[in-house]
Structures are given as structure tokens and as C-alpha cells.
Amino acid sequence: MSKRSFKEKVCWIVGASSGIGESLAKELNRQGAICIISARHEENLRTVKSQCFNPDNVKILKCDVEETDALPAIAEAAWRLHGNIDYVFLNAGIAVRDLIVNTQTPMIVKSMNTNFLGAAVIARTLLPHMIAQGTGHFVVTSSISGKYGFPKLSAYAASKHALHGFFESLRAEHDKDGIRVIMVIPGLVKTGISLHGLKGDGSSYGKMQESLKTGLSPEVCALRILKGVLKNKNEVIVGGVERFTILLNRLFPSLMAFIIRNHPMQKLKALRLKKATQS
């Protein structure tokens, strides 16, 4: 059996202007893929293209996944660019970070539209084409928050859980048609996700979350994702030790719920800080 590779495969990366998507685009391009890169900020996409190993193999298609009415036409345009698409990386995402009591309804809607609905509409549009060609891959960026809820991430976690429900159903319906769904579950990755994120009132979160500073680099994350995709895994989990909480949650859900509720790490840090200031 010949070894699977991305060489000359058409890959559409949605959410490719920064972070994980940017690294995915650059690595796919380096591995010989024909890339279409999308996001809202065209200038950033141009920079990504110019930094690629082979920029001639990269096309830019501006798109805002929140504008779901416009998405079918954009997905059709993406398909027409090369007459097929082998891999769609549904990676666009935004983090809304706040307590539920502070999270206004428009922010829940924004999170659902950006992180879930946009991906679902794109998949809905491309599916008939992929069924006709007898092959196609949806590589969907979820999160550990797609596996269990977490304080201050309610809207984000809800949107990531929705991705699992939708795309696991798609996998069940269309595996027989040669359609593959790969759910990507990153742990902590050192990107601007919190910097670009929003608070519950819609204002900018605007700072780098402490825990992300120690996260995996987006470049390593992209390499691991692509390795998992080529292995046709149902789920690709990437990150540091935090990824074991998925297993912990699966095996001991009550214990995990207790840990999440009680923030043991934060309590330990607060205790250390208190001791340090007292001495």
C-alpha cells in the first residue's frame, strides 16, 4: 500500500490567518499540498501566503464564517478553484471567556456561529460534491472544552460540543461514501486565541492567558495534527499533560467534575502566594 501524503492534495484551511491554522497552512504547503486559505483578515492571509515555502501553490479566499448566509457561495467558490477539495480544515474559532452570569446572549450566538454553525454550513455545502467524487476529509478543530464543560468557557464549550454532535453524525451517515471526519482536540497551544478573544459583554479579552504561555507551539501542534490526519484517526488529541484529563473525565466523570468545580491548581497557587507574602 502506498504511503498516504498531502502531496498535490487540495486542502482548504478555514481560519488560516494566525495560530494553528497558519501553521497548518505552512506545513501543508511544505508537504506539497495545494492550499486555499481563508479567514476574515485578508492582509494576514497575504502574509501567511508570502511566508509559505511555495506561495504559488496557495490561493486566498476571504471568508467570515459568522456570515452563514454567504457561506454556501464561498464554499462553492472554494470547490471551483481547483474543481475538487480533498481536505477541509474547519479551524476558525473564537474564545468567549466569562462567567455565564456575565455572558450576554449575542456572545453565545457569536460563539455558536463562529465555532460551530459556519463549519456545519461549509460541510453541508461540500458534502454532495465529496460524495460524488467518492472521497473527502473534514478535519474539525474542536478543543478539550468539546469534551467537558469548564468555568468561564460556557459559550465556547457549548460550540465545541456541538461540533462533535454534528460531525460524528456526519461520519456515521457518510463513512460508506468515503467521507472521513477527523476531530482535532488541542490542549493548550501558544497562540493568540485569548488575545483575540472576547469577554461576555463583547469587549476584547485582549491578553494572553497564563496557561497558554506554556502550551505547545502552533508549529508542533500542526505537525502532530497532520500526522494524525494521515493516519485517518477519528480523533487527534494534541497537547501536554492536560490531554490526559480527557481520559480521566471518561473513566471517572464524577471525580473530574469535582476537580473542575474546586480548582485545585488555582487554590494551590493562591496558597503559595499567601505563604510567600506572609514570609
Ligand X SMILES: NC(=O)c1ccc[n+]([C@@H]2O[C@H](COP(=O)([O-])OP(=O)(O)OC[C@H]3O[C@@H](n4cnc5c(N)ncnc54)[C@H](OP(=O)(O)O)[C@@H]3O)[C@@H](O)[C@H]2O)c1
Here's the x/- map for ligand X, 111-150, by CB under 6 A: it reads as ---x--------------------------x-x-------
Q: What is the tally of helices (H) and strands (E) in the chain?
A: 11, 7
Alpha carbon distance 160, 195 (integer Å)? 19
228 touches ligand X by CB under 6 A: no
Here's the x/- map for ligand X, 5-34, by CB under 6 A: it reads as ----------xxxxxxx-------------
> Which of 131, 41, 36 has its CA nearest to residue 89?
36
For ligand X, which stretch binds (CB under 6 A), given 3-11, 69-77, 87-95, 262-270? Answer: 87-95
Query: Which residue from 66, 75, 78, 198 is in contact with ligand X, where contact means CB under 6 A?
Result: 66
94 touches ligand X by CB under 6 A: yes
Query: Which residue from 11, 93, 183, 198 is in contact with ligand X, where contact means CB under 6 A?
Result: 93
Alpha carbon distance 22, 192 (integer Å)? 12
The three-state secondary structure class of 41 is: coil
Alpha carbon distance 137, 127 (integer Å)? 10
> Which of 23, 58, 15 has its CA nearest to residue 221?
23
Active site residues: 156
Interface residues toward ligand X, by CB under 6 A: 15-21, 39-41, 44, 63-66, 91-94, 114, 141, 143, 186, 188-189, 191-193, 196, 212, 215
